[in-house]
Chain A
Amino acid sequence: MSDENAQGALRHWEKTRTLTIIVLVVWVVFAFIVPWNAKALNGMSFMGFPLGYYFCVQGSLAIFVALIWIQNWRQDQIDDELGVEE
């Protein structure tokens, strides 16, 4: 591997790692923190649902789907930018 390639690979991994950390933080919020506080959130209402219940049966799930698609879109950008795509 030439130096330039090695540099690119290093930058690629740094960016990939940062993106992954951001994704995992959002994941923790909607997978754990929101359901943990379902009781308090149930005091609010969303589309006729108690809010805490809504997140456990639909909201968090939809956010997981969106999160994966957004992550992949951004990861493709990073790959292209640093010329490590297939």
Chain B
Amino acid sequence: MQGKFTDNLGKVYGVYTLGFLGFFAIMAIFEQLGASARLIGVMFLLFTIAIYALIGWLSRTTQVEEYYVAGREVPALYNGMATAADWMSGASFVALAGGIYFGGYPYLGFVVGWTGGYVLVNSLMAPYLRKFGCYTVPDFIGTRYGGNTARFCAVVILVVASFTYVTAQINATGTIAARALGIPFEVGVWFGIAGILVCSMLGGMRGVTWTQVAQYIVLIIAYLVPVIWMSNVQGFGLIPQFGYGDAVQRIAELETTLGVGTAPTESFPGLKALTTLHNSPQGGYDSWRFFTLALCMMAGTASLPHILMRYFTTPSVRAARRSVGWSLLFIFLLYFTAPALATLTKLQLLDPQLATSIIGKSIADVNNLEWIKNWDAVGMLKVTDGNGDGILQINEFFMRSGIVVLATPEIAGLPYVISGLVAAGGMAAAMSTADGLLLAIANALSHDLYYKIIDPKADTKKRLMAARALLVLIGVAGALVASLKLTGILGAVAWAFCFACSGLFFPLVLGVWWKRANRQGAIAGMVLGFLSGALYLIYIQNGGGQIAGLDGLRFGIIGMPVSLIAMVVVSLMTPEPSKEIQDMVDQTRLPGGKTVLEGVK
């Protein structure tokens, strides 16, 4: 191959994609030849993880610029893919469709929130942070506002938000590995973290970027293929995303006849019965719940460092903007599919006219279904006969929300090779996000805390050694916390967004958009915003009554206004920033020329 790696990206990833599809075909043939489902699942996981590890090893580097920002040579399209993988977590892949299945209208706040946030990223943040030329998000805060205190506050918020998030991802890798490899969850978690660290430790951002591109390709194929296949097998149309309106209406009819909404008489930890209507917005309070959730998720998107730092890696400001456009397009592909999947899977289980339906069938027959047996064995679903009539009622079928994605191929009667593909996709989604998060944390600690605050004289070798040591340390800490199984995958994810938007949203936005914002204001904004949000979460977690319907998923609604008001009031009460800082802001706003940090040096 001629020329630099980045000149041949199309060829490299084209071959890779064909190779993956070829592997898929070989597995399908293996299945026909009688290979067991277990073996195929194991092959899928090991093959894909081996490839990521290979990419991670090939991307190893000893250059600081490559380790922190991938040498700033990632083209917009590929950075879009990497961001999409970075963004779509185990939660998006495994739990989003399940959440829509169980949550109805209020849950759709996540769908709108996790896409609309990119409008904020593009218009308020990404191009300006790229122009600034920082290595990390606290690097921007520390330089724009000046002083170690502001930098330190940003590091703390980053660590809390990202660590909350990463434990959820490691948890997801553990769940998938446990299921596919047939090992205990606690072992699966360590298996997952080992795979994650191999991708990021040697090459830093460079390694993570090129593995994330590979992981995006796997995860999007793994998400779309089963849904489209299922839709064609079950007669829901060629491209299900555009034609499931009738299914939505049909579910509304069935919900009345099947009595969706009747509370179950039993309960099983971690499992849920369907009680919320699929599409039934009530207006008023319901709209308020939607709005508050969507707002927290959007502002959180625009404040989460592992996303923002992806836009530091493009060659130019214009490429940074363009890559936000690509990112959202690639994310959209999954997000507009998840509701279709949730709707069609629900219809398959509920509609007595379909062969796949289980509600209204005899309990004995349902218990004999292969997929019910499989998932019951790993404790992810439960069929009971609460009223003792021998017939399965809607409130007698319990499952974990992740099953909607993981078991769809089996419910629809697709070959097991599809389930193997889905497992590989879920693993790719969780690993890529975990990689981005771990790197965001380790980089902030090594660059901002160690290099900028503790030891500014450290040489390159020492800095990179510290960065790698911290990466392993945080990964292991994350795995330890994940193995405690503290909360469901989605709860922890929403917390991360709320922590990030409470503490970082306004200091970041106003750093570019309000020249008058100064150090004292930014510190007040970060500290008070973050603390008020965090204290409200602690209050809610300890059984405190909700204020205005704000639960633990929405505490950013408390943190953000506090942060804004504190920042504006304190900034105005203290002297305006120096001429140099104000010029720096002017430079940040202009796309042309050197990065701001190069100008400072």
Contacts and interface: CB of A to CB of B under 8 A. Distances in A.
Interface of A: 9, 12-13, 16, 20, 23-24, 27, 30-32, 35-40, 42, 45-50, 52-54, 56-58, 60-62, 64-65, 67-69, 71-72, 75-76, 79, 84-86
Nearest to B329: A65
B592 interface: yes
Interface in B248-298: 248-249, 279, 281-283, 286-287, 290-291, 294-295, 298
Nearest to A84: B592
19 contacts: A13-B589, A20-B123, A23-B119, A31-B113, A31-B119, A31-B294, A32-B294, A35-B294, A38-B287, A39-B283, A48-B249, A50-B249, A50-B279, A53-B248, A56-B112, A58-B339, A60-B112, A60-B115, A61-B115
Interface of B: 100, 105, 108-109, 111-113, 115-116, 118-120, 122-124, 127, 241-246, 248-249, 279, 281-283, 286-287, 290-291, 294-295, 298, 316-318, 321-322, 324-325, 328-329, 332, 335-336, 339-340, 586, 589-593
B111 A72 contact: no
B132 to A, nearest CB: 14
A54 B245 contact: yes
A32 B123 contact: no
B123 A24 contact: yes
B119 A67 contact: yes
A9 B586 contact: yes
A64 B281 contact: no
Contacts of B332: 61-62, 64-65
In the complex, the 8 A-B pairs of residues with the closest C-beta atoms, listed nearest first? A48-B245, A49-B245, A57-B339, A38-B281, A56-B108, A31-B116, A39-B283, A36-B287
B591 A53 contact: no
Nearest to B105: A38
A4 B536 CA distance: 51
B329 A30 contact: no
Given A37-B287, A58-B336, A68 B245 contact: no
B119 A61 contact: no
A50 B283 CA distance: 15
Given A38-B281, A61-B332, A27 B590 contact: no
A47 B340 CA distance: 14
Contacts of A58: 241, 336, 339
Nearest to A53: B279
B248 A68 contact: no
Given A23-B119, A35-B287, A53-B279, A61 B589 contact: no
Contact of B318 (A12, A36, A85): A85
Contacts of B290: 35-36, 38
B123 A47 contact: no
A48 B281 contact: no
A50 B105 CA distance: 12
A47 B242 contact: yes
Nearest to B338: A57
Given A48-B246, A53-B248, A54-B245, A9 B590 contact: yes
A42 B279 contact: yes
A25 B161 CA distance: 29
Given A32-B291, A57-B108, A71-B123, 12 more contacts: A12-B590, A23-B119, A32-B295, A35-B287, A38-B105, A38-B287, A39-B287, A45-B245, A46-B245, A49-B248, A68-B118, A86-B592
A30 to B, nearest CB: 7
B291 A69 contact: no
Contacts of A23: 119, 123
A57 B298 CA distance: 16
A46 B242 CA distance: 11
B321 A72 contact: yes
A39 B105 CA distance: 10
B554 to A, nearest CB: 14
Contacts of A20: 123-124
Contact of B243 (A48, A50, A72): A48
Contact of B317 (A30, A38, A49, A86): A86
Contacts of B339: 57-58
A16 B325 contact: no
Nearest to B324: A68
B318 A76 contact: yes
Contacts of A32: 291, 294-295
Contacts of B336: 57-58, 61-62
A35 B592 contact: no
A71 B116 contact: no
A22 to B, nearest CB: 10
A42 B123 CA distance: 31
B116 A64 contact: yes
A86 B245 contact: no
A34 B44 CA distance: 42
Given A48-B245, A54-B245, A72 B590 contact: no
B248 A35 contact: no
